[in-house]
Amino acid sequence: MASVIVGGLHKAQEAVRQATSKEKKVVDLERDTANIHIKQPLTTDHGVRVENTDQWLRVVDDQHTGPSLLEDQIAREKITRFDHERIPERVVHARGTGAFGNFKLTQSIEDLTYANVLTDTSRNTPMFVRFSTVQGSRGSADTVRDVRGFATKFYTDEGIWDLVGNNIPVFFIQDAIKFPDFVHAVKPEPHNEVPQAQTAHNNFWDFVYMHPEATHMFMWAMSDRAIPRSFRMMQGFGVNTFILVNKAGKRHLVKFHWIPHLGVHSLVWDEALKLGGQDPDFHRKDLMEAISNKMYPTWDFAIQVIPEEKQDEFEFDPLDATKVWPEDIIPLRVIGEMELNRNVDEFFPQTEQVAFCTSHIVPGIDFSDDPLLQGRNFSYFDTQISRLGVNWEELPINRPVCPVLNHNRDGQMRHRITQGTVNYWPNRFDAAPPAAGPNVSQREGGGGFHTAPARVAGPKRRAVSAKFGEHLNQAQLFYNSLSEHEKLHVRKALGFELDHCDDPTVYERIAGHRLAEIDLALAQAVAEIVGATVPDRAVRANPGRRAPHLSQTEFMPPKPTIASRHIAILIGDGFDPVSLNGMRAAIKASGALPVIIGTKRSRICAEGESPSPSAVRAGVSPDHQLDGVRSTLFDATFIPGGSHIKSLSQNGQVKHWIAETFGHLKALGATAEAVNLVKESLGAVSGLKVGSAEQPVEWYGIVTAGGPQKPESFKETVNIVRGAKD
Ligand code: HDE
């Protein structure tokens, strides 16, 4: 039966079916893709060639321009199409960016599931991933303090699997019915639509105080996790608990994780704030550039598993999305790898129209009773109808790479044409019959989604189980597990946020009470900063329990790397070309990107170089000039020696660049004369250790708990700095 379907109704799908598993989505999208860079003449949407697209048809002579004519169907089409270009932005996660990739399973988990995407290690499943911020609108900045969406779409041979996660493993609320209240409170306030893309306002902090269940999550949101350096350097978490079902029908609770091979890294807050204005597209450009430079970001895919019969054995309820499953109790099992390797061709039809749906699962995976997930399963399909219309799953980016056939029909913007005389089941032709279950292969007409029997009983009530009532243990566990500099950042973030709340009820309650339930020292420090009453005793004890892998400092790559980092090289006329070329080559050899910043973008002469056109030329044409970029855009800065230092040391912008780089805890390198420029610019910074004179390159900006240190190498410099943002 299945072969009839493929050979009959879905001819276009045949090419997709023939493609290698890795290429399936590429081949699928090709049939809807055209290239504008061809000399084919312009046409209207109905295909008629257009002779003039610049002047509206009007009554006109050489002296008088008369009225424009409504009759001009070409002008009307152009304007009307433009008027309707916008669709509603996502109600949350409006700002985002996406890329294509592939998922390779490295270890079959046949013991847990019969989902082929998780058992067949020969497959290379195509994916689309969209990263996003939550609060801000579509045009807001990338580097704001916020949770990041980490939505993944697997185009499997058995249909679409959407794992719609975040970069933080828990959530603000436990029950989906609270989501509208939560989103209203976090979004700009209703009377003035302020603030944009941040939680630093009365309503958000009022809401989280009124909901103690939000405490754990707001502690994560105040940590460095909420200001990632790059989408490529974030963990992803499925957050909700799903079910894996194996061939014997046994069910396991599962949580899904993505772990970046580049490690988890963050900006410092001052950097994030400045980048919001200096380059609002910082994260989306970072991802696109890495992919176009073939520095493909990769993540491990891992699971945590609890056998269903053991789900009551924990102090928390494993169905509660405000709790992590501590990894010392429930270890991670790495089973696969994702690589992002292709940028989108066009933003709107791909990144904007991509639509995720938590209820999109494939046979072998099922939903748990997680009350947040159950509500999400309703919400996502519904929201796509308002954004894209009922036929949203037919859009090229959303359609599966396997055949689709059913009796769903009509609705706005229906594309698919289904031949035949029936549109219902059962029918006299046995057309489009239900598939057999998982024990029959797909080829033989099986592979139908089967819900493994599970017992459900109990009184109907608006409630959750008793363990959902404990809200603070894991907020404490998280805070205790952070390193000292991460704790400092949490304190400062809370100080910033509450400083933006002008209602004393709000900041008094958070600083004086809620924080004192987590850690007295934290509450006291924050209360003092924000002008709240300083609590003199803890509201509850902090037994100091910690858990592994809650601090992001534990997610460093096994081998330190500066691969894909942007390293600025500052020069003016008279730089030392040997030093510049040597460092540029070393940076490239390490897989990083050297970016030359000149005092101007016109050619810059090397030391001793004659401006005469016939002379041997050692100068360079910089990528940018000092006014066009800022130190915040780079991971480190290098300044070669040479006579250019004379003018650079007179340049306030250069000195500010150096001081700012140091202030943001980034590596600073200098040779020869440039060493003094760096020393001079950092003169005000106390405790700075200056390297010994015999070292050819001096590095600064290494700050550890014990004081400044000298790194062994440039690579180590960048990694230490990234790891020890203090
Ligand atoms: Fe979402 N969420 N959400 N969410 N969410 C949406 O769907 C919703 C939740 C997440 O890149 C919306 O297509 C409810 C948790 C991401 O396109 C909407 C609840 C997690 C994205 C929606 C939650 C997420 C969304 C808006 C509480 C982490 C962006 C537009 C029960 C696991 C997907 C859309 C993309 C988007 C509803 C809670 C992640 C309205 C009702 C928990 C990454 O359907």
The string of DSSP letters for 314-337 reads: SSS-TT-TT----TTTS--EEEEE
If asked whether residues 542 and 592 sit together in one domain, one would say no
User: What is the DSSP-derived secondary structure letter of residue 532?
Assistant: P
If asked whether residues 281 and 175 sit together in one domain, one would say yes
Residue 466 lies in a domain: no
CA-CA distance, 7 to 69, in Å (whole number)? Answer: 51
State which of 533, 554, 575 marks the end of a domain.
Answer: 554
Average pLDDT on 443-457 reads 90
Whole-number pLDDT of residue 608: 87
Q: Ligand 1 mean position to 700 CA, how many Å?
A: 43
Amino acid making up residue 384: Q
Whole-number pLDDT of residue 720: 45
Q: Is the bond preceding residue 67 a cis peptide, omega within 30 degrees? A: no
> For residue 677, which of 702, 707, 647, 721 has the smallest C-alpha distance?
647
- Where residue 686 falls among pLDDT bands split at 50, 70, 90? very low
Residue 216 lies in a domain: yes
Dihedral angle computed from the Cα positions of residues 223, 325, 509 and 519, in that order, rounded to the nearest 10 degrees:
-70
- Where residue 689 falls among pLDDT bands split at 50, 70, 90? very low
If asked whether residues 518 and 588 sit together in one domain, one would say no
* pLDDT(694) > 60: no
If asked whether residues 578 and 660 sit together in one domain, one would say yes
Whole-number pLDDT of residue 555: 94
CATH, residue 610? 3.40.50.880
If asked whether residues 548 and 496 sit together in one domain, one would say yes
The string of pLDDT tens digits covering residues 252-269 is: 999 999 999 999 999 999
State which of 378, 394, 410 marks the end of a domain.
Answer: 394
Whole-number pLDDT of residue 695: 43
CA-CA distance, 67 to 58, in Å (whole number)? Answer: 6
CATH, residue 482? 1.20.1370.20
In the set 10, 46, 84, 93, the catalytic residue is 93
If asked whether residues 483 and 539 sit together in one domain, one would say yes
- Residues 644 and 571 sit within 8 Å (Cβ to Cβ): yes
Query: And the tokens for 579?
Result: 């030093």
Residue 47 lies in a domain: no
If asked whether residues 146 and 278 sit together in one domain, one would say yes
Assess: ipTM above 0.90: yes
Task: Kindly report the average pLDDT of the chain as a whole number.
Answer: 92
* pLDDT(8) > 70: no
* pLDDT(690) > 90: no
> Distance between the two ends of the chain, CA-based, in angstroms?
64
Furthest C-alpha separation in the chain: 91
Q: Residue 341 belongs to what H/E stretch? A: strand 333-343
Whole-number pLDDT of residue 376: 98
Whole-number pLDDT of residue 557: 87
Give me the sign of the Cα torsion angle 9, 12, 16, 18.
positive
The string of pLDDT tens digits covering residues 337-357 is: 999 999 999 999 999 999 999
Residue 73 lies in a domain: no
The string of pLDDT tens digits covering residues 308-335 is: 999 999 999 999 999 999 999 999 999 9
CATH, residue 380? 2.40.180.10
Q: Residue 191 belongs to what H/E stretch? A: none
The string of pLDDT tens digits covering residues 637-648 is: 999 999 999 999
Whole-number pLDDT of residue 594: 96
Strands lying side by side in the sheet with 636-639: 624-625, 593-598, 566-571, 636-639, 667-670, 698-700
If asked whether residues 682 and 593 sit together in one domain, one would say yes
Residue 25 lies in a domain: no
If asked whether residues 296 and 364 sit together in one domain, one would say yes
State which of 501, 519, 554 marks the end of a domain.
Answer: 554
Q: Which atom of ligand 1 is nearest to the CA of 94?
A: 30
Q: Is 93 annotated as catalytic?
A: yes
Q: Which atom of ligand 1 is nearest to the CA of 151?
A: 43
Give me the sign of the Cα torsion angle 584, 588, 590, 591.
positive
Average pLDDT on 579-590 reads 93
CA-CA distance, 515 to 526, in Å (whole number)? Answer: 9
The string of pLDDT tens digits covering residues 601-624 is: 999 999 988 766 665 577 899 999
Which residues are near ligand 1 (CB < 6 Å)?
A: 90-93, 96, 130, 132, 149, 151, 164-166, 171, 176, 179, 239-240, 321, 355-356, 372, 375-376, 379-380, 383
* pLDDT(43) > 60: yes
Q: Ligand 1 mean position to 554 CA, how many Å?
A: 28
> For residue 701, which of 265, 716, 582 has the smallest C-alpha distance?
716
Residue 276's domain spans which residues?
96-179+206-394
- Residues 102 and 129 sit within 8 Å (Cβ to Cβ): no
| Beta bridge pairs of residue 127 | 101, 154
If asked whether residues 517 and 588 sit together in one domain, one would say no
Share of the chain above pLDDT 70, in %: 92
pTM to 2 decimals?
A: 0.94
- Residues 604 and 598 sit within 8 Å (Cβ to Cβ): yes
* pLDDT(711) > 70: no
Q: Ligand 1 mean position to 95 CA, how many Å?
A: 13
Q: HSE on the CB side for 323, CA within 13 Å?
A: 20
> Which residue in this structure is represented by tokens 């700095």?
721
Average pLDDT on 486-500 reads 98
* pLDDT(296) > 60: yes
If asked whether residues 383 and 487 sit together in one domain, one would say no
Residue whose Cα lies nearest atom 42 of ligand 1: it is 171
> For residue 641, which of 614, 609, 605, 677 has the smallest C-alpha distance?
677
Average pLDDT on 574-579 reads 94
Whole-number pLDDT of residue 454: 85
Query: And the tokens for 635?
Result: 């991971």
Residue 86 to residues 139, 398, 434: CA-CA distances in angstroms?
13, 19, 39
Among 317-331, 677-691, 711-725, which is the least confidently predicted range? 711-725
Whole-number pLDDT of residue 687: 44
Q: Ligand 1 mean position to 92 CA, how many Å?
A: 7
Q: Which atom of ligand 1 is nearest to the CA of 383?
A: 44
> For residue 173, which of 386, 376, 462, 361 has the smallest C-alpha distance?
376
Average pLDDT on 239-245 reads 98
The domain total for the chain is: 3
Residue whose Cα lies nearest atom 3 of ligand 1: it is 376
CA-CA distance, 303 to 533, in Å (whole number)? Answer: 44
The string of pLDDT tens digits covering residues 173-220 is: 999 999 999 999 999 999 999 999 999 999 999 999 999 999 999 999
In the set 166, 167, 343, 398, the catalytic residue is 166
If asked whether residues 533 and 577 sit together in one domain, one would say no
